[in-house]
Chain A
Amino acid sequence: MKAILKDKLNLLYEEISKKCELYLPTKEKGALNFKKFDGENEVDIESLQTVKSAKDFFFPQTEDMVNFKTEGKNIEIIDAREKIETYVIFGVRACDYKSFEILDRVFLVEPVDTMYKNRRENAVIFTLACNNPHASCFCKNFGIDASSPKGDVECYDVDGYLFFNPLTEKGAQIVNGLTCLEEVKGEDKVDALKKDITKKIEKLPFSNLDLSKFKGENLMELFNRPEWEELSEACLGCGTCTFVCPTCQCFDIRDFKTNSGIKRFRCWDSCMYSDFTQMAAENPRKTQMQRYRQRFMHKLCYYPSNNDGIYSCVGCGRCVKKCPQSLNIVKVIKKIGGEKND
């Protein structure tokens, strides 16, 4: 297998970044997030998870769409979409990779979101198996195998080496072109690691949730469950869960007045916000309970109903960790998901 000694990883990063832009998990001011490699990054591939998910690459928090240039009474329309060239995202975990599939079903079906498509197609994704999954992880419930994270190239961190397993042609093309890699015999070690990971995952507290209730046919019943009140009681209505979530895909389109006209851009929105979806000037979901219910019903019921039973949750556990008041999807699943929870 192609591999590189872990203490030589900088060589790898440098070589890739010479070919194209490279993004990897970087620690800055105590928070881990994907950052463009500039030679100074404090790269951290040991820690499990970035705060923001990898969806940002295809669906950034803000993105320009079109510019209107005004002069006197004249208006000129300028396409503001960025030209994207091939780039590498390094260190994506299995859950985040799975989230791309969920987002694709939203953005790549007709009418295709060209901005998303542009960014998605030009990305080469190096995934990374999860050596140390966290107690808040529950990806297993959604058919995700953290020991086989998929992507263009799977990476395994074992025995002081990082091993590479290209899965696609564009992945192989990059891996084969890297001169810093050496051929190391590692299949056994990787297999052992995979087994170890699978074992660890099995033992996690949330690995076997009962999702059986979340079916389209139960929609109205679930919607009317009285437990939503207490589940959402402490919700602050902030957007933390939505913004760290790898599958949340709502956005708002806004105009910004520049000195020469108007910039029309889109930016993330959160269904948890009171000013979300101002239909006829008002949010139809007036209470925080309704908004809270919307988010989880969408993840666990509405989306799967429209997408062959695929849940739009990947069990990454970000909302579990980051909710200011410790409300999260696991608590929802356990409360109303099925009898076998608890």
Chain B
Amino acid sequence: MQRLENAVLSKAKELLESGKVSRVLGWTKGEFCYDVSPCVFNTVDELKNFVYNGFCGANLSKYLINESKKEGKIAVFLKPCDTYSYNQLVKEHRIKVENVYAVGVECQGKFDIEKFYAKGVGFVASVEEGLTEVKVNGETVLNRNDVKLERCLVCNKKHVAGEEIVELNEKLPSDSDRFEMVKKLEAMTADERFAFWKKELSKCIRCNACRNVCPACNCTKCVFDNPNSEVSAKANATSFEEQMFHIIRAFHVAGRCTDCGECSRVCPQNIPLHLLNRKFISDIDKLYGEYQAGEDTTSKGPLTSFTKEDAEPSDAVGGNK
């Protein structure tokens, strides 16, 4: 994977040097191998801190809302899943495309640092990445799938945007069903589902990380911050507010959520927020035909279109009772 990083880095250099772009949006090194951060590089010199490894999970597309408004062209590196978010933002006129040079980058799934800890690795000093295996701290060999983020285990996304793609290996397909857990929940009784979500949502500290990281949650002012919305709040004072926040958060991105999984990645309490979004996706697929948000930049979303033969709400509610 070192080769891939070099390839991405030299692409960044080439774009800056040739003057094709004036800035590059990528990831910068942290204190360890795993605490990388999104970063805008303005010069070739700054690229010495450029990094592209298995911990570059952050979806960079949302940063383009502001970055593309600035003067000059910016290059951005997009993993397959990020390209969907990018398209969706373009569709919603949030990105000034003429200021962006999008480059797709190979991704074999990104890591969840907590999964290394769970595997008994107390401190992750280095990770050598292979396609199916990783070597931690030069000694422990782990199956790549065992340390991947949940979203990456079920990912079969392809690059759907970008002027070019930096890819050394073809992406390994996943045969996991991303709706497996949704189906499991649907098969539970309503009481079990209620108990499940009550426990999950009661962990929420309303830090808004899920919302602020979400490329679809790009409102200038969120309803939950707007005192005129009658639902604004800075904390969940009751379990109702936990439910309301998460229902509405998911509802507002329904039909626009590309299932990039950032919400679950950033949740400090590990709430499986993607299960809410995927429920909507799964319902939309079932009721209105398969729809992948961000696959293109022009189609009307499922909640802004209809057919005369659509299911009635009474028939649309699936799942076990």
Spot the interface stretch: B79-87, B140-148, B156-164, B229-237: B229-237
Return the chain B residue nearest A230 by Cβ. Answer: B39
User: Is the pair A327, B225 in contact by a Cβ cutoff of 8 Å?
Assistant: no
Q: Which of B17-71 contact A (CB under 8 A)?
A: 30-32, 34-40, 58, 63
User: What 0/1 readout, one digit per residue, does chain A (264-300) give for beta carbons within 8 Å of chain B?
Assistant: 0101111001110000000000000000000000000
Contact between B58 and A29 (Cβ–Cβ < 8 Å)? no
Minimum CB distance partner of A319 in chain B = B268
Q: Report yes or no: A322 in contact with B268, Cβ–Cβ below 8 A.
A: yes
**Whole-angstrom distance between the alpha carbons of A325 and B30 in the complex?**
10
A101 contacts chain B at the CB level, 8 A cutoff: no
Say whether A239 faces chain B, with CB atoms less than 8 Å apart. Answer: yes
A233 near B38 with CB under 8 A, answer yes
B200 part of interface (Cβ distance < 8 Å):
yes
Cα–Cα, bound, A238→B199 (Å): 23
How many residue pairs bridge A and B at CB < 8 Å? 114
Give Cα A132–Cα B58 distance, bound, in whole angstroms: 29
Are B268 and A326 in contact, CB atoms less than 8 angstroms apart? no
- Docked Cα-Cα span, A325 to B268, in Å, equals 12
User: Which of these, A31, A33, A325, contacts B37 with CB under 8 Å?
Assistant: A325
A19 proximal to B (CB < 8 A) = no
Number of interface residues of A (CB under 8 A): 46
> Given contacts A324-B209, A331-B31, is CB(A62)–CB(B237) below 8 Å?
yes
**CB interface residues, A 245-272, toward B, < 8 Å:** 252, 254, 256, 265, 267-270
| B213 interfacial contact with A, CB 8 Å | yes
B208 with A239: CB separation less than 8 A: yes
Q: Which residues of B contact A28 (CB under 8 A)?
A: 199, 203
Q: Specify which chain A residues have a CB less than 8 angstroms from the CB of B265 in the assembled complex.
A: 324
How many B residues have CB within 8 A of the partner chain?
Answer: 38
Residues of A contacting B38 in the complex (Cβ-Cβ under 8 angstroms) = 233-234, 325
Q: Is the CB of A234 within 8 A of B268?
A: no
B270 touches A267 (CB 8 A): no
Please indicate the chain A residues that have their CB under 8 angstroms from the CB of B208 in the complex: 238-239, 273
Which secondary structure dominates chain A's binding surface?
loop
Instruction: Contact check, B203 vs A233: say whether CB atoms are below 8 A apart.
Output: no
| Cβ-closest chain A residue relative to B205 | A243
Kindly state whether residue B211 has any CB partner on chain A within 8 Å.
yes
Question: 8 Å CB contacts to B: which residues of A163-196?
Answer: none
Chain B nearest Cβ from A223, distance in angstroms: 22
Q: Find A30's partner among B35, B262, B270 (CB 8 Å cutoff).
A: B270
Query: Which residue of chain A lies nearest to B67 when distances are taken between CB atoms in the complex?
Result: A233
B237 proximity list for chain A (CB < 8 A)? 62, 256, 265, 267
Interchain CB contact under 8 A, B209 and A252:
no
Contacting residues, chain B, for A62 (C-beta < 8 A): 235-237
Check A326/B233 contact, CB under 8 A, given A29-B199, A236-B209, A238-B212: no
Select B235's contact among A29, A267, A330, beta carbons within 8 Å: A267
- Residues on B lying within 8 angstroms of A by beta carbon are 30-32, 34-40, 58, 63, 122-123, 199-200, 203, 205-209, 211-213, 225, 233-237, 262, 265-266, 268-271
List 13 other contacts, CB 8 Å, given A265-B237, A324-B213, A326-B36. A31-B203, A62-B235, A205-B32, A206-B31, A233-B40, A240-B207, A240-B268, A243-B206, A252-B234, A267-B235, A325-B213, A326-B34, A327-B37
15 pairs, A vs B, C-beta closer than 8 Å: A31-B270, A134-B122, A135-B123, A206-B31, A234-B38, A234-B39, A236-B212, A238-B211, A240-B207, A242-B207, A243-B205, A243-B207, A252-B234, A324-B58, A325-B58
Ordered nearest first, which 7 A-B pairs have the shortest CB separation? A324-B266, A267-B235, A326-B35, A236-B212, A238-B209, A234-B38, A238-B212
